[in-house]
Every structure is written in structure tokens, then in C-alpha cells.
Amino acid sequence: MPEENLDSTASPESESKPVPFDPVIPTFREWALLKAQQTELTSRMNKLRDKVVAAVQTRGYADHKGSQYIDLPFPIPVGDSEYIRIKRERRVSIVADIEAAESITKQRGESVYRRAFPPVPTLDADELYVLLQEGVLTEEDMDRIMVQKESFAFRGLTT
């Protein structure tokens, strides 16, 4: 006895059709998997790093430059390297305290202040539209000033 389609709402259009193969699909899938793994690995690495840093801070010894160390009891081979020590390296950089600089240079006079803090021209886009409304700038001027810049971002969209 031949099988019959018992679903009266089925139509030839609603039957599943094979999806054509697109060679970008496996490449995109691999990218998406790697991206998810990278996010997870980064999170795990940061948590592990924070635990190790805390251990070096509390139990490590310091050198004359202020860096802190823990010597490992035996070498730990990883890839082509062998780790023998953990280092929390002290780094020092010089940064300007803007409030202090303003205060001190203002005390020395306006010319000293202006040399340290030269006026920097900045474009006020809102003011351009005011100038257009006032008739100082034309539509042609605005078309030359306000130009479109195009960029693209690569994203995988999820449901």
C-alpha cells in the first residue's frame, strides 16, 4: 500500500529542500568557535594571572628595583621554554599632574601658562550649523566640510 501524505496543509513548497553548500560556512564556523574560545581563554588566563600575582605579592621576595619574585621548586616545561621563576615586574613612568602644572604655571604669569598650555583650535560642528543658518556658510560649504567616512566592522550575528 503506497504511503500517503496525511498532512493536508503540506504543499510542495513547504517540503524541505537541500540547502546549497556555501564554502564560507565552515570557515565562518571555525572563526566563531575560535572567537568564543579566545574569550573564554582570556577570561581564564586573567583569573589565573590574578591568583599568581596575589601569591607573588604576599610570598615573593623583592629585588633592588622593586620587582617581586617567586622561585619555582623545579623547572616547568611549556612549549620550547622552561619556567624557573615568576616575576611581578615593577615599572615606573613619569606622568604630568595637569592640575599642579596649571596652578604653578598660572602663578608664574599668563605668558608662562600659555607656553605650557597653548590654545588648541577645536571644531565645533554644532556652531557650523548655526553659521549655516545665519547665512555665513553655504550649503556648498557644508557639503565640503561635512563629508561621509565609510568603515566596516566584521561581526557574526546571533539569534
Whole-number Å distance between alpha carbons of 80 and 32: 29
Residue 135: the pLDDT is 97
Residue 71: the pLDDT is 97
Comparing 9 with 122, the larger pLDDT belongs to: 122
pLDDT exceeds cutoff 70 at 84: yes
The answer to whether residues 55 and 62 touch, using CB atoms and an 8 Å cutoff, is no
Residue 16: the pLDDT is 77
Domain segments of the chain: what residues? Answer: 20-88, 98-143
CB-based contacts of 53, cutoff 8 Å, min separation 6: 88
pLDDT tens readout for residues 102-158: 999 999 999 999 999 999 999 999 999 999 999 999 999 999 999 999 999 988 888
Residue 11: the pLDDT is 56
